Structure 1
Amino acid sequence: MPRKIPAELGRAALRECTLALAASQTPPRQPLATAARYLLQVLAERAPGQSVEVRVPPFGAVQVIEGPRHTRGTPPNVVEMDAPTWLALATGDLSWAEALTQGWISRSGSRADLTHLLPLQP
């Protein structure tokens, strides 16, 4: 099991990334990785379960939301996006509907909808 990212470290990385993105700059890789993993961790804590896999390659993936458990192969319910999109969704800077319309989210399966969980506001 991966080590838990302390909230202070996750929030500091998130602040650094948010400032860079607001200035139309690419955040440094390490803070971006930490922020993405931290927000995935928060999502997993708030919506425990194993029916939907949320992927933010190459930084991480979590299984969330109660329901039918998936154990082998590609899960039937998958949500995937890049790290800047994930940060924007999790913080409320981007809506689920807008990200879908823009094609920034790839999803499959009838349960692959995080609308009711976002924003996280960690």
Structure 2
Amino acid sequence: MARKVDPAELRAAVGAVSGWLRGETGEVPGREELGAAVRATARTLAIVAPGHAVEVRVPPFVAVQCIEGPRHTRGTPPNVVETDARTWLLLATGLLEFDDAVRDGVVAASGSRAGEVARWLPVAAPNHG
């Protein structure tokens, strides 16, 4: 089971990067801030969509399994969603649609169930501020 994410921790982590995500600042967040936001949102996805059918990877920060289905234990999982930190955070906050990201090539979604991740997004609201 995924480690519980405190809602205040999630809001703070997303808040620290939300200006950058919305394009209000050109300053890229530091690795620590970026990693905290990626991990909090990915772990939240694993909590709201528990299971092991799809692996979501956001290197180098996190990989989580989610969505009900058979557990994957060895080798490359059959259903994988992989992207960079910024794209993941845009998806996680609803600033980017999953299907658009796949179409534009910024998200790699392999396997028949990978697209099911879209049903569970967004997992956090971008802070307005």
TM-score in terms of structure 1 length: 0.90
User: What residue in structure 1 maps to residue 99 of structure 2?
Assistant: 97
CA distance in 2, matches of 1:97, 1:24: 26
Q: Which has the higher contact order (CA 8 A, sep 6+)?
A: 2
Distance 1:59 1:31 in 2: 11
8 Å contact from structure 1 (residues 56, 80) kept in 2: yes
- Asked if the contact 1:51–1:67 (Cα under 8 Å) also holds between the matched residues in 2, the reply is yes
Q: Does the CA contact (< 8 Å) of 2:52 and 2:71 recur in 1?
A: yes
1:11 — aligned with what?
Answer: 11
In the TM superposition, structure 1's runs of 4+ consecutive aligned residues that sit over 3 Å from their partners are 1-6
Closer/same/farther in 2, CA of residues 36 and 68 from structure 1, 3 Å limit: same
CA separation of 1:62 and 1:103: change in aligned 2, threshold 3 A: same
Counting matched residue pairs gives 122
Say what the alpha-carbon RMSD is for the aligned residues.
Answer: 1.8
SS at match of 1:99: helix
What is the match of residue 35 of structure 1? 37
Contact 2:82 2:109 in 1 (8 A): yes
Higher mean alpha-carbon deviation, 112-121 vs 72-81, is at 112-121
Contact 1:17 1:28 in 2 (8 A): no
% identical aligned pairs: 52
Of stretches 92-101 and 57-66 in structure 1, the one that deviates more from structure 2 is 92-101
Q: 2:69 aligns with which of 67, 78, 88?
A: 67
Q: 1:119 aligns with which of 119, 122, 127?
A: 122
- Structure 1: state its 5+ residue gaps: none
Aligned amino acid, residue 96 of structure 1: F
* Cα deviation code 1:52-72 (max 9, x no counterpart): 000000000100000122111
